[in-house]
Every structure is written in C-alpha cells, then in structure tokens.
Amino acid sequence: MSAPSRRRFATPLDFERGQVELSHGSGGRAMAQLIEELFAAAFRNPWLDQRNDQACLELPPGRIAMTTDSYVVSPLFFPGGDIGSLAVHGTVNDLAMAGARPLHLSAGFILEAGFPLAELRRIVESMARAARAAGVTIVTGDTKVVEHGKGDGVFINTAGIGVIPEGIELSGDRARPGDGVLLSGSLGDHGVAVMAQRSGLEFETALESDSAALHELVAVMVATAPGLRCLRDPTRGGLAATLNEIADQSGVGIRLWETAIPVKPPVAAVCELLGLDPLYVANEGKLVAICPPEDVDRLLAAMRAHPLGAAAALVGTVREDAHHFVTMETRLGGQRMVDWLSGEQLPRIC
Amino acid sequence: MKYIDEFRDGAAARGLARQLAVEIQPDREYRLMEFCGGHTHAIYRYGVQDLLPAGIRMIHGPGCPVCVLPVGRLDMALDLATRPNVTLCSYGDMLRVPGSGGQSLLRAKAAGAEIRMIYSAAEALELARRHSEREVVFFAIGFETTTPPTALVIQQAAALDLPNFSVFCNHVLTPPAIVHLLDSPEARELDAVAIDGFLGPAHVSVVIGSRPYEAFASGYHKPVVIAGFEPLDVMQSILMLVRQLNEGRAEVENQYTRAVTRDGNAKAQRLVAEILEPRSVFEWRGLGPVPRSALQIRAPYARFDAERRFALEPRTVPDHRACQCGAVLRGAIKPTDCKVFGTACTPETPLGACMVSAEGACAAYYSYGRYQEAA
Ligand code: SF4
C-alpha cells in the first residue's frame, strides 16, 4: 500500500501547542486534517487507507465474536498504560475470553474542545502500538468533539471482532461442581495503580497497571485444555463480580481460598490504606479460567509457562450451592461471603 | 505489608482458637459486645466467628457513627442541603442513609442540591476557602476518633475569620453510650440483652485513652478489653475477656498497646475541649436520648455552628415502620432477625442505616456472613 497523499493542508497540525477545536469534529477540512495527520498516520492499514465510512472485511471461517466497550478512565495516563492502550487491551480481551482470535477493531473518539493535541497524539500512538503488538488492525473510526467542560479530555469506544476456532465452546454457564477456578496472576494491579494516582498519595513502591492483551495466553490455554469451560477477565467489579456472574449463570457456588489468591504486597498495602478489598478492584490483564478437575494441573503449567500467566494459581473450586454463593475460606481459617459489590461509588478506573 | 499480615495469620488464629476452647467453661455462655462497627466488620470479613467456640456469643454494639445518627438529625442535614446557596460536605457513607419519606442526601443531590462527598474535614474547609460565594457546611459525624479533625477545622476557620464556613456537629461519645446500654431503665425496657463484657474501641481509645472506661468497669463490674481492629487483635481480646470472666475480674485491659495508652492523646483532647462541649442530651438511633453523650460547638465559636447560624430546629422523627435498626444497635436482635433483612432491606435498597455503612452490623452480615443462614 502506498503512503496516503490525498490531501495537503496549508499548515500541518501543531502537535506541540495546538488544541482540539470544535471544528475537528464538524466534518469539514479541520476534521479531515486531524484524521489524516493523526489517526490515519498512526493506525495505517489497507482498510483505513481507503478512507471509506466502513471497512469491508474478508474473515476466515469460523464463528465470529463481536464486542464493544467504552473507556472513560481518569486520569488518562497512569503507570503502566493510558486510555489508548487500555481501549485496545480491553476489547481484545473481551474477544479473547470467548476463545476468539481478535482481528479488527473500530475506534470512536469523543474529544473535549481544548484538549492538547500533544496528549491526544500520545494516546493515539499508544493505541496504535498496542494494536500492532496484539496483531489487530483498527479499520474504521469516528471522531466527535464536545464543548469545553462537557467531556473529560478524551473518551474512547472500541468495538472488535474475532474468529473462534472450530470446537471451542467457552461460556459462563458451563461451570460444574468440582471444577477448578484458576487465576492468571496477581489481583488489583490496574485499579490500584489508577486509584493511587488519583489519590495524590505518594507511594514508595511503583505500582503499575497490568493492562495487557491476553489472547495469546488464551490460545495456549485452549490448545492445552480443550475441555476448558469458561474464561472471563475480571475488570470492573474485580474477581468478586466475575465469579458471582459465573456462579449465577451456571447455577453453582464457588469457594475461594484467600491464601491462594496472589496479591502483590504493595497493592495489598495501598488497598489497606484506601480501604479497598483487592477482590473488588479492577484488573486489565488478568483472566479467570474454570476447567474440569482433571485439566487443572496441565492448564496451570501451560499458563505459568507464558509470561502473562507466570503467577497463575488455582484459587478455588466450583461447588453445588442452591444459593449460588461465592464464599471464601479466609486466611484466618474462617469463612466469608464474597458478594457483589453493592452501590459503592467507585471512581472511573476503566 | 508484613506488619499487617502478622495480625491475620491463620496459624496464630488457630492457636488462639484452641486456647479459647481449652479455657472456656463449658457450662456457661460468654456474651461479649464488640462496641465498634470496626470490630463487627473485622469479625465478618475475616470469618472470626467461625473460629470461636460455641459458648462465646458476640453481640454487635452501637459503635457505627452512621448507624446511630437518628433520622431527625439526617432530616436537619437534608434541610440544610436544600437551602439556597448552601454546599453541604458529607462523608460518603452518609449519602445513602434513608431519611424521612425515603429521602436521602444522594437523592437530594440528584435533584440538584449542592452536596459534596469528602474524605476529610480539611477538604470541607478548603472548599469554603475556594468558594467564598457559597455557604459551606461540614456535616460532621463520628465518635471521638473523628472529633479532633472537626475541632481543628473550626479553630482554623476562626483563625482565618472565614465568613462562609460552618459545621453541623453530630459528634457522639463512647463511654456514655456504654453506660447507657448497661444502665438506663429505658434500655432495659427496650429489652437490651445482658452483656458480660466489652471489646473496647480501638481508634476511639487512641484519642481518649483507656482511663474513661475504668469507672464503669468497676462500677458495673463488667470487664473491658480495648482491642485493635485486626482479626487476631479481636481473638486475643476475646481470650483476655474470657480470662477476666473466668477469674471474676472486671478490669480495663489494653490489648491494643501498640497504639493506646491509659491517658490517650492529650493534645487532641485539649483541642476538642477548647472548641466543643458536651450537650445536655442527644438522641441516638436505637438508644433514644442519652445524657451528655454528644458534643456541640462552644459559644465563642457560635458563628461556625450551623445549627445556630441557620436556626435549625431539632426534630425527632420515628424510624421507618419496618426498620429494626434500633434493636440491632442495642444488640437486642441479630440483623437476620429483622423481618426485612435481605428482602426489602439490602445494601442496594437500604431501609435502615445499619445496612448502609460498611461498619453497620446488617451490612457486615449481608456482605460477609449470609452464607451461615443458608448453610
Ligand atoms: S435489616 Fe435493614 S431495616 Fe432491618 S435492622 Fe437492618 S438496616 Fe434496619
């Protein structure tokens, strides 16, 4: 594909001091320039280069997985990522949790007038890097600009499609008593990194979001354990929400073992300080897998062999329970419920 | 983190549980009240109750500041929040507590009232400094732990001569509430249960020290053990109470020696005494009017007192008909004994305050302990 050279603009966008203006979303020349010099330049691929309002795609055979998610994280930049990389990882992961190979994304931007173009470029370039690294293309997009004070810098929506290989059937209603509950790594890294940044508190240890694309780990897992029942990424609402969903969908109970759940010491310390429970804190690069008991050891070994699953652990088991409760054996040796998060007003973390 | 883990260690907990099992006298029941919501929360969050022998019964006390504030005081706050030009600053926990007619601060906020959720008294003061055009009112609630920061912002507002800042003071006192639980004829008529001993507050005692409990420990012959908020603190303190009861002692003991002294924090006490003074009487949810159990702003600082500044009329409003928070707060019933627990009253749709605050017994039961009823 040759370099796009359709239009030339009198003066290039000022990515040092320039700002988003209402005209950047109005469908006129200014918008064309923003698309040309920023989005198209960063995301380059044959579909986008055609400059059509839609991408026409040839897909490999298999069932298609499709998903969409909107990203409103504040602050926009946090240790370990930014809203751009998050918008790619989050949607790629939603596809991956169906066992799909993610292929293409769309990207919709809602920009606030006055937002620095320099920061927008940082976000878009980070998004492009994340997409390249994940092997997905951003094939279509949209930009809208809202008045100053009516947005919070940048909101991003991404939708994605992927193809599910033959024979893979993952679903939240397939958990059965006796199944193992596996977690791919430590809990709470993303939410704590973002909230620590928001709180303005200084922490001695660097806290980093775990934001990452999980489809390659998933590919290894489905290859290793074809009997895998279900995968979920515990984002908003954390592990607690994810397991309660699965318990409800499958009509089972789940028992966790607190001592088996990996939480990094600095994350645990910040949770303590901010009054958070790591079970409820969002993750952006972790997954929960439910698999038949006979697959647990093999699956765990395969996960641990992958860099994104190095700290994977068996954290609980599926049980019969008419109430579909998720409970936990505490470190102390007692029991507690791990209920849905109730009505707490959490800040925007994803 | 190592520091925290030490107080949640499973092996140590099992050791304490074994010790308790050995030391309790099989033919008696130990009815122990944990005064503080913080203890209730720890007990359920860590599953402490599962480790206790059957003879030990934990009774949840009224030490949850959000829970004990009666509907009338909340209605006064709602009244304030809906006045023109007022910005009401409130701790987040308070926002969802139902007031009269199903109104809450959260609903008032959605309807347009200027209500800010804050994490500290200092934030409210800062807001007043930045918004000189608004009347900024800090909705102060809490036991002795949160009182010094409130006194401090009043002192600072006076030093700055801030014309637009005031405090709606609802600070309550622990020792009078404990005495009231044991003592008052009303409390007895209200079927308050017999209590053999108390787990004393952790953070409150950091401020007031352990001395204020001495008079009633000896006067009422009830042992008190001041207990930290970690689960092992709680277990260790229960063991200390059991030993006192077995030996017929009724003393104030301090398990939480890493933070509590006999005399407490003298500087904080002086600050509070300079700005605030006891009210002759204050109404508690569940306990009714309790003499000298709360604080008000002293006359020299009257201009920072929202009650005077806005001529707020005190009011007494009955709880929601179905709500049994009062009985829960007196330890007279368990949360699950309330008819609406888990049905009409859940954390999403709280009918009573005890279901709202993380320190409320009903919320702790609902969030952490419900599996027991189902088992
Ligand atoms: S269940 Fe609800 S109404 Fe009943 S005592 Fe608890 S908080 Fe009050």
Which residues partner with B89 through β-bridges? B116, B138
pLDDT of residue B186 exceeding 80: no
**In this complex, which of A336, A342, A345 lies closest to B47 when CB atoms are compared?**
A336
A333, B10: Cβ pair inside 8 Å? yes
A335, B371: Cβ pair inside 8 Å? yes
d(CA A154, CA A149): 12
Q: Sheet containing A313-319: give its strands across.
A: A230-232, A288-291, A180-183, A313-319, A253-257, A326-329, A335-337
- The total number of residues written for chain A in this structure: 350
A331, B10: Cβ pair inside 8 Å? yes
The reply to whether A205 and A328 lie within a common domain is yes
Q: What is the mean pLDDT of residues A33-43?
A: 94
| For the CA of B350, the nearest atom of ligand 1 | 2
Residue A17: inside a domain: no
Residue A10: inside a domain: no
**Architecture category of domain B18-63+175-254 in CATH:** 3-Layer(aba) Sandwich (3.40)
The residue of B368, B370, B373 whose CB has the most chain A CBs within 10 angstroms, and thus the best one to mutate to test that interface, is: B368
Q: Please give, rounded to a whole number of angstroms, the shortest distance from the CA of A183 to a CA of chain B.
A: 21
pLDDT, tens digit, 9 for 90 and up, residues A63-86: 999 999 999 998 999 999 999 999
Print the domain residue range for A146: 22-164
Q: Number of structural domains, chain A?
A: 2
User: CA angle B281-B283-B288, nearest 5°?
Assistant: 110
Residue A206: inside a domain: yes
**Looking at per-residue confidence, does B329 or A302 come out higher?**
A302
Confidence of residue B215 (pLDDT cuts 50, 70, 90): confident
Residue A303: inside a domain: yes
The reply to whether A133 and A222 lie within a common domain is no
Determine phi and psi for B254, rounding to 5 degrees: -120, 105
Q: Which amino acid is at B43?
A: I
Residue A28: inside a domain: yes
B49, A334: Cβ pair inside 8 Å? yes
Q: Which residue has the tokens 């492009």?
A: A128
* Average pLDDT value over all residues in chain A: 92
A332 to chain B, any CB pair closer than 8 A? The answer is yes
Q: Are the C-beta atoms of residues A332 and A338 closer than 8 Å to each other?
A: no
pLDDT, tens digit, 9 for 90 and up, residues B278-333: 999 999 988 889 999 999 999 999 999 999 999 998 888 888 788 888 888 888 88
pLDDT, tens digit, 9 for 90 and up, residues B112-135: 999 998 888 999 999 999 999 999
Confidence of residue A118 (pLDDT cuts 50, 70, 90): very high
The reply to whether A193 and A333 lie within a common domain is yes
d(CA B309, CA B294): 19
**Helix, coil or strand: residue A216:** helix
Domain ranges of chain B: 18-63+175-254, 67-172+264-309, 325-366
**In this complex, which of A259, A268, A339 lies closest to B10 when CB atoms are compared?**
A259
- Span from the CA of B18 to the centroid of ligand 1 (angstroms): 34
The reply to whether A160 and A185 lie within a common domain is no
Last residue of a domain, one of A111, A135, A164: A164
Q: Which amino acid is at A154?
A: V
A330, B46: Cβ pair inside 8 Å? yes
The reply to whether A130 and A228 lie within a common domain is no
State the complex-level ipTM: 0.74
The reply to whether A110 and A76 lie within a common domain is yes
Q: Please give, rounded to a whole number of angstroms, the shortest distance from the CA of B365 to a CA of chain A.
A: 9
pTM equals 0.82
The reply to whether A126 and A195 lie within a common domain is no
A325 to chain B, any CB pair closer than 8 A? The answer is yes
Q: Are the C-beta atoms of residues B135 and B143 closer than 8 Å to each other?
A: no
CATH number of A303's domain: 3.90.650.10
The reply to whether A143 and A76 lie within a common domain is yes
Intrachain domains B18-63+175-254 and B67-172+264-309 with the same fold:
yes
- The pLDDT assigned to A201 comes to 65
Token reading at B88: 């009401």
The reply to whether A207 and A155 lie within a common domain is no
| For the CA of B328, the nearest atom of ligand 1 | 5
- Span from the CA of B66 to the centroid of ligand 1 (angstroms): 13
- The pLDDT assigned to B181 comes to 83
Residue A195: inside a domain: yes
Q: What is the mean pLDDT of residues A88-98?
A: 97
Side-chain-side CA neighbours of residue B48 (13 Å)? 28
Last residue of a domain, one of A164, A189, A209: A164
The reply to whether A272 and A207 lie within a common domain is yes
The reply to whether A231 and A290 lie within a common domain is yes
DSSP state of A66: E
Residue A157: inside a domain: yes
Q: Are the C-beta atoms of residues A19 and A25 closer than 8 Å to each other?
A: no
Q: Please give, rounded to a whole number of angstroms, the shortest distance from the CA of B348 to a CA of chain A.
A: 6
Strands B276-278 and B30-36 turn out to be: unpaired
The reply to whether A143 and A250 lie within a common domain is no
DSSP string, B275-294: HEEE-SEEEETTTEEEET-B
Residue A342: inside a domain: no
Q: Domain spanning B67-172+264-309: which CATH class is it, in words?
A: alpha beta
**Helix, coil or strand: residue B74:** helix
